[in-house]
A and B are shown apart, each in its own frame.
Chain A
């Protein structure tokens, strides 16, 4: 695929003007995600009330793919139940790793702009990191990584 087609306007827009960027004062769930491959760090905090994500924010230093993915993720899960958020996490991971058939019913909506990432294996982790971190935060794990034991997709890291 042409990599430029991945960097669609919607992704560039979320990279330029990320939604829900910053920290939350009243957060009761929080996690830091780390991608040791590139050194990216992402901080996700949310307030979970009666099983619903009342509010969510993220901040950190990362590439455009990761930042846009985080921005669109926060917009997608805000107001959703924890169960619905977990479904999105699952579907997003499967889409990014090419395991989801987009022709079948799913809940990803505009998040399908990231479907092309499966053809850029070195960038899959960039898109997935925010979702890993959200999953960790929802499950009260304070840190997530795209590598080692906490890596559910086991892609190899860089060398040299």
Chain B
């Protein structure tokens, strides 16, 4: 029994440690409809802790000017902070060089950059692009646009009933016309963690480059682009406690250099005459115009913040919350979890017999509980499970067990409400 006690004690200490981080998030003091806010929609966008807010305020009050332009004090400060943020991102994903990190406006922008810069240059009629059923619309629509333009074809890796990719099927897709793979690291709708390292290795056996959409992975687990050996990796800052309006594209330097620019304008050029323009080197070739300087610096501050807590600690605590929530929700009759992969992040997507997700969302909101309801920008995946929509609770490291309990009680009371 001593062993059990020791484990319990450890769990409690760990939970207490994580409880302290709640004080860093001013939004958690908010009341919604007279109830304390229970924010379970971090997979859509996470909340911002005070140190990141403070960093943004400090930048705007004492460091702001345009970057890479002037020789004056503020411009030099802004430039060095902006480039410093790039290095923070570089180390966060373990890229070889900082020039392999492009600041974009977010995940969607980064994927569009690769579609235009790489896809339009190297993908031709009858070539094949492999995507998966789990993709977010942002990693479907750009490739469909490319396919329409070039006559290339899209092949879609199926999933099983648990929401796991059928890697054997994926392997069979490869042939000499296969030119690109777009792969979501973690499903936003179901939480499935895909075996991306293995899938990248399979693609590379056929000489095919792989883009990994890490929007839902980067906030929850260590990302090592060298270990994965991915060709492109993309995610947004606002899902990891940073500001909206900024995200990153990691690309292998040789690939980025071979690509055509996406947007034209200032900053991305070396020389301009009306006869001919030569382009700047990477990463600047892909950062036309004034970049989101403040947001990029806030992105760096968010990474610093997450690292002070520890990515492994965040992951372990979120898994505890997920397991607790899964255990409790499985006790409710008439509630079905969609997405039961063996390897998942802290996302709980579910449907309730006879009650539409929108009604659940509205009634939970009445209790101050924020969940996402809808198709989660993954309509093909909803079609696969023959449902129009789900409700989704996503747990972050700033949630706790009592919030999980309130959420489960909330679903139960919605069921009661509709059965009266």
Contact residues of A with B, CB < 8 Å? 2-4, 6-7, 12, 37-41, 61-66, 120, 122-123, 126, 158-160
Contact = CB atoms under 8 A, between A and B. Distances in A.
Contact of B44 (A38, A61, A126, A160): A160
Interface in B350-406: 355-359, 362-363, 365-366, 372-377, 379, 382, 388-389
Nearest to B420: A12
B366 A38 contact: no
Most buried by A among B45, B359, B389: B359
B417 interface: yes
A123 B388 contact: no
Given A12-B420, A63-B358, A160-B188, 8 more contacts: A12-B418, A38-B375, A39-B389, A40-B389, A63-B357, A64-B355, A64-B359, A65-B359
Contacts of B374: 37-39, 158
A38 B359 contact: no
A123 B362 contact: yes
Contacts of A122: 362
Interface string B129-152: 000000000000000000000000
A41 B388 contact: yes
A62 B366 contact: no
Contacts of B372: 160
Which label, helix, strand, loop or mixed, suits the secondary structure of the B interface?
mixed
Contact of A39 (B365, B366, B388): B388
A38 B363 contact: no
- The binding surface of chain A is classed by DSSP as mixed
A32 B416 CA distance: 32
Contacts of A120: 362
**Closest 9 A/B residue pairs (Cβ):** A39-B388, A63-B356, A63-B358, A160-B44, A3-B366, A64-B359, A39-B375, A3-B362, A63-B359
Nearest to A62: B356
Contacts of B365: 3
Interface of B: 33, 44-45, 188, 355-359, 362-363, 365-366, 372-377, 379, 382, 388-389, 417-418, 420
Contacts of B356: 38, 40, 62-64, 66
A123 B388 CA distance: 16
A38 B417 contact: no
B161 to A, nearest CB: 20
Contacts of A38: 356-358, 373-375, 388-389
A159 B377 contact: yes
B234 to A, nearest CB: 15
Given A7-B417, A38-B389, A39-B389, A126 B358 contact: yes
Contacts of A62: 356
Contacts of A123: 358, 362
A158 B389 CA distance: 13
A4 B417 contact: yes
A76 B388 CA distance: 28
Contacts of B379: 39
10 contacts: A12-B420, A37-B374, A41-B388, A63-B357, A64-B359, A66-B356, A122-B362, A123-B358, A158-B377, A160-B44
